Structure 1
Amino acid sequence: MDTATTTATGAGRIGGDLVVETLAGLGATTVFGVPGQHALGLFDALRRSELRYVGLRVENNAGFAADAYGRTTGRAAPLFLSTGPGALTSLPALQEAAAASAPVVAISSQVPVAGLGGGRHGYLHELPDQQAAFRGVVKSVHTVRTQSQIPSAIAAAWESALTVPHGPVYVEIPQDVLLAQASLPVVSAMEATPRPLTPRPELTTAAAELLSRAERPVIIAGGGVVRSGAAEELRALAEKVSAPVVCTFGGKGAFPWEHPLSLRSWLEDRHTTAFLEDADVLLVVGSGLGELSSNYHTFAPRGRVVHIEADAGKLEANHPALGIHADARLALRALVAEVDERPDAKAAARVADVLDAVRERIDGQELALEQGVLAAVREALPARSPSFWDMTILAYWAWSAWPGALHSAQGAGGLGYGFPAALGAAAADPTTPVLAVSGDGGALYSIAELATARQESLNVTWLIVDDGGYGILREYLTDTFGETTATELARPDFVALAESFGVPAVRTSPQALRDDLAAALAAPGPRVVVLPALLRMFAPTHLD
């Protein structure tokens, strides 16, 4: 090979190099994943790349880490997977990313080209139709058969992941394509910028007229507000039309918790539900009003609904509305410009009445332990630190009562999210300590990632609330059947187990939790704090 050809193609490059070069050209800096035999070409190429690789121990956990990276940065997170079992193990994480609109670009190996589409059979890890397993989960599926297709396929997937609404995408590349010597030039910078999803002006004008004339307007702010960075526009609109705002669990942080118009996030409460139902104009922004956001589909609005949603499939899916298919920030900006000023001195008082009723209900249920534990966690967490919550009773409390933004697995509802997600966030920003919260049941889903935390020296403190089983399922079964089945768990000594990984750990109490957690968060590297405690959920309420 002459000098000119070597310079153009890069000596010793293979198909995997085209993948990492394309990702770097698109702006990626970090890759998550787990190696596998068919994916060796991807991982060998990383050795020649400046991309940082964060390797987890289980593909599902790698997917959760990529999800959190995407949520916290707004950038697409590459996820490297191997054929068959490796790829399939990532599916629960990709389902969560889809439900939460997190941009993840999953790139999986495949059997050699000869085995695709019903060709030669008998390859290790082979599936009859691997991509079919992903079609019902991800936004788009992209299959590569030749090296020349790699840059275009990955760029198309990247654009799809970052097109509003964000979400996971899937690319599969045969093993032999990844391993073959590359004769193509080194991939240069790539352009894959999605077009903005702008609202139709006649629809925002109609919505502005409704809000301007409303007597009791109310706003429900969902995760789309957070993802689009529309908090400023939301606040401006709420103040201009004097509309109380309730944030969904995915939309926490979209509106200031202590604002006089803030109804906070008590969505599983009939006082809040009744207030929303009484609105003559209800503006729903960035939420599909699914099961959790609609108080388990008991919510029945009586007024006019205006629905702003980037996901066309969710638009008016649960309630008839004036539907506006648009990015939340762009739609809210248009509404702020068009609505008339609508002063209402009584709006804040109505909000205060609802919050007083909620507070009285909770205070009457003897839940001082639960409220104290949540307060201790909040006081220990630095203001800039993100938190990631598994599906555990304390997280269910946090959905309603945590004063600000948080990240949880409530989109798809799978166990094991909190700790690996926190690792992904720590990889995105090594300068800020990150909190993960799990129950003992969920912790066992991701306990292997203590090795990742230690190996990568990630600044994550993991709070494990140990109640001896699946606490929330224990409550559900007891409430439904009067007794439990399969909820009580044998579990390890989490402190000793963490220390065996070389991760410092402490067993705490509700009284010492704030100080122990604060000390762990202030220390560099990973830490584990174990709280033995039996927590209860607040009971649902029904108005007479």
Structure 2
Amino acid sequence: MTRPRNGGDVAAETLTALGARTAFGIPGQHALGLFDALQSRPEVRFVSSRVENNAAFAADGHARLTGDVTPLLVSTGPGALLTLASLQESAAASAPVLCISSQIPSEGLGGARRGFLHELADQSASARGVVKSVHTVRHASQIPSAIAEAWRSAAAAPAGPVWVEIPQDVLLAPVELPPVSDVDGSPEPLRPRAELVDEAARLLDGAERPVVLAGGGVSRARAQGALLRLAEHLQAPVACTFGGKDAFPWEHPLSLQSWLEDRHTTEYLEQADVLLVVGSGLGELSSNYHTMRPKGRVVQIEADMGKLEANGPALGIHADAAPALDALAARVTPRARSERAEHETADVKRKVADRLAGQGLETEARVLEAVREALPDGAPSYWDMTILGYWAWSAWDPRGGAMHSAQGTGGLGYGLPAALGAAAAHDGPVLAVSGDGGAMYGIAELATARQHDLDVTWLIVDDGGYGILREYMNGAFGRASHTELARPDFTALAGSFGVSAVLTDIDRLRGDLAAALAAPGPSVVVLPAVLRMFAPTHLD
């Protein structure tokens, strides 16, 4: 028997009309009308996670890889609240995740405490401090406009997560509305003002030693080509932040790479007579823990208006990176090749390498090199907050494949679920990297990987605890407490999910990881190893 169309159908039709082709989440009692409606629309692939925060990380990973608004569908109360820590990461990383949560029946909204299952006094208030915008639906006729407005908000620079709430009864009630087809979630482009482009071009043309710090905003805007043109026109060395590691070619003669936690790099950035900061708010990690003190003029291009000049005076240009860099590249006067700039760039990297060479970190370098050589060029990687991930922030060569991590907010458990989200859109292998502590946050998602046959290889570096916290505590207090962890046999546990797994060592890592990545479907590689971080950021 065919049921009548309802609010859930209207929501599903709206998502389809807006272009959604993959969604993530977990069903729940109040949201069943939406999930049933989605079932009849095979053009939208639904990837069901096991825990809501991991579903949100998966949506984040998908959104970062594709640049597309990615739906996240969850139920009321506990399900909705479990997404918030992950959506905080999406907000920090400008990942356009569209969270649609159900709500208790309409009669319980507005503060009345009727005792409904999952009831919160004000669910949207919990989300409001995390996401870009909140949209609450009261009637089915509001659903298309609310979702389209949320979609536009999520996609508009700076992109980020948004929140839509639809009560259970609105999702289930029959509707007489025609099928949804005419909706538009396209955002307005965020272009720079002409007088600011002129002034920035004047400053850069007049600079003898211009330098660029490129952040994640360049990568998100797909503005790598424009940045390359501008840097070559100016003959300006370029450093990339940890969130924008693919913003500039790693081996380019003008590439300073990403050693932002080293004073050699910091001092070079400080000495620029004009420092162009694009797509970065100069936060803690990008400014070497707020120790960078530029001596020349700073030009800052940033889509998030709240970040303009938040960490120092600048010529602030409120714009998305792509149109701003295109405009500047067309406006500045091209220069002849500068051997001085190339020599200085190489000298900074040599100083960094010399400093590391005296710290006895050969094992760490071998491990990261083995991972890099095993992963095919162009394949994306997703890194948890683990020591090898911290190394990758500075030392990983993207080779055409974007590197993503949870460095926006630093929460554990990002690597595997985010990689699963990416694998739902990527044709080829995706790498996830976790420590044993972070791995336990997402171990249930091995079931998701197997169920949906997602091509993710998960490297777990097992050092017996929270390795980075162990180092921090030993450094600060001379001892570590509560950092050592009991953990499972990860290979046996993966096997119980039907996921192939191998226990490796440093000598066999490259071959074992390459074989796992070459085999279709999910796999796990476990490396027992205690790795160390490089020394603090001061000069030796």
TM over 0.5: yes
Q: Using the alignment, how far apart are the partners of 1:360 and 1:189 within structure 2?
A: 60
Q: Using the alignment, how far apart are the partners of 2:454 and 2:185 within structure 1?
A: 31
Confirm or deny that 1:304 pairs with 2:300: no
1:120 CA displacement: 4.8
Amino acid at match of 1:79: L
Matches for 1:290-369 after TM superposition, within 5 Å: 290-343=283-336, 344-369=338-363
SS in 2 for 1:250: helix
* Aligned position for 2:472: 476
Query: Structure 2 unaligned runs (5+)?
Result: none
Deviates more, 1:338-347 or 1:67-76: 338-347
SS in 2 for 1:469: coil
Matches for 1:89-104 after TM superposition, within 5 Å: 89-104=82-97
* Aligned position for 1:542: 538
* Aligned position for 1:174: 167
1:340 CA displacement: 1.4
Contact 1:34 1:58 in 2 (8 A): yes
Confirm or deny that 1:30 pairs with 2:22: yes
Q: Using the alignment, how far apart are the partners of 1:427 and 1:237 within structure 2?
A: 34
* Aligned position for 2:411: 414
SS in 2 for 1:212: helix
Matches for 1:24-423 after TM superposition, within 5 Å: 24-50=16-42, 51-343=44-336, 344-404=338-398, 405-423=402-420
Confirm or deny that 1:424 pairs with 2:417: no
* Aligned position for 1:4: none
Contact 1:208 1:338 in 2 (8 A): yes
SS in 2 for 1:540: coil
1:524 CA displacement: 1.0
How many residues align? The count is: 534
Amino acid at match of 1:45: A
SS in 2 for 1:127: coil
Q: 1:188 to 1:11 in 2, by over 3 A?
A: farther
* Aligned position for 1:520: 516
Matches for 1:434-449 after TM superposition, within 5 Å: 434-449=430-445
SS in 1 for 2:424: helix
Contact 2:59 2:71 in 1 (8 A): yes
Amino acid at match of 2:32: L
Contact 1:384 1:432 in 2 (8 A): no
Q: Using the alignment, how far apart are the partners of 2:348 and 2:70 within structure 1?
A: 41
1:191 CA displacement: 1.2
Q: Give a deviation string over 1:185-220, Cα, whole Å, max 9, x none.
A: 111142121111110010010000100010111000
TM-score (norm 2): 0.98
1:181 CA displacement: 1.4
Q: Using the alignment, how far apart are the partners of 2:242 and 2:378 within structure 1?
A: 19
SS in 1 for 2:114: coil
SS in 1 for 2:191: coil
1:66 CA displacement: 0.3
Q: Using the alignment, how far apart are the partners of 1:531 and 1:171 within structure 2?
A: 41
Contact 2:112 2:121 in 1 (8 A): no
Contact 1:212 1:342 in 2 (8 A): no
Q: Using the alignment, how far apart are the partners of 1:216 and 1:32 within structure 2?
A: 47
SS in 2 for 1:186: coil
Amino acid at match of 1:383: D
SS in 2 for 1:199: coil
1:165 CA displacement: 0.9
Amino acid at match of 2:185: A
Q: Using the alignment, how far apart are the partners of 2:406 and 2:539 within structure 1?
A: 29
TM-score (norm 1): 0.97
Amino acid at match of 1:205: D
Q: Using the alignment, how far apart are the partners of 1:193 and 1:409 within structure 2?
A: 27
Contact 2:258 2:393 in 1 (8 A): yes
Contact 1:416 1:443 in 2 (8 A): yes
* Aligned position for 2:494: 498
Contact 1:393 1:472 in 2 (8 A): yes
Contact 1:103 1:162 in 2 (8 A): yes
Q: Give a deviation string over 1:48-102, Cα, whole Å, max 9, x none.
A: 1121110000000000000011111111100001100000000011001100000
Amino acid at match of 2:72: L
Q: Using the alignment, how far apart are the partners of 1:88 and 1:176 within structure 2?
A: 20
Q: Using the alignment, how far apart are the partners of 1:186 and 1:285 within structure 2?
A: 43
